Structure 1
């Protein structure tokens, strides 16, 4: 039979330090915001000339998706929890805006 102290030590050993993941996720979330701005600028340029927004949209989705999932995996770490939560929040903004854009684009294409 285990004592309470042994159970506490065992539970502390399960939590790993994922500060690196949290930091990379935080950095990628700001790069993802910059790629969203790039996507918006390409959309404006697309109305003037014939640029393709597909590559910047895929780039934005990829960067923000990686940042979001790294933040989720680092959320329960012993250190870097705040960075992970901030990265999840920041990277969810471009993901939501792109999802709204894709839905609106699909609706207007079907009309």
Structure 2
């Protein structure tokens, strides 16, 4: 097979351009920031003021924003623009979620011991 035939075969392959998911990356990062703020507020509400109703509400808001922001960040990580923001969004949604789970375990242990 000649190199000219190989070139023609390669040129027929269509390469799909990456979708621009900059909006999803931005929303993921914003939801990550919101979840981080609400986790801190929940911990302060639970530990410092012992207002369990407010802390639980903050934990629920942080959990929902983390669970929505994480898949948005994953979908935006392969985009042509906003890859850095998508990585930041994934990081900012995972860390508060893990912190939230750890804080809930500690609070539940404190309540039942």
**Which residue does 1:21 correspond to in 2?**
24
Task: Please report the RMSD computed on the Cα atoms of aligned residues, expressed in angstroms.
Answer: 2.0
For the pair shown, the structure with the greater C-alpha radius of gyration is 2
Aligned position for 2:35: 32
Match of 2:85 among 80, 83, 86: 83
SS of match in other structure, 1:76: coil
Match of residue 3 from structure 1: 9
Aligned 1:41-80 pairs, distance under 5 A: 41-43=44-46, 44-46=48-50, 50-52=51-53, 53-80=55-82
In structure 1, distance between residues paired with 2:27 and 2:90: 12
Aligned residue pairs, count: 104
1:106 CA displacement: 4.1
How far the C-alpha of 1:109 sits from its partner, in A, is: 4.9
TM-score normalised to the size of structure 1? 0.79
Report the alpha carbon displacement of residue 80 of structure 1 after superposing the two structures with TM: 0.8
Q: Secondary structure in 1 aligned to 2:33?
A: helix
| Cα pair 2:43 2:103 within 8 Å, conserved | no
- State the 1:88 CA deviation: 0.6
Contiguous gaps of at least 5 residues in structure 2: 1-7
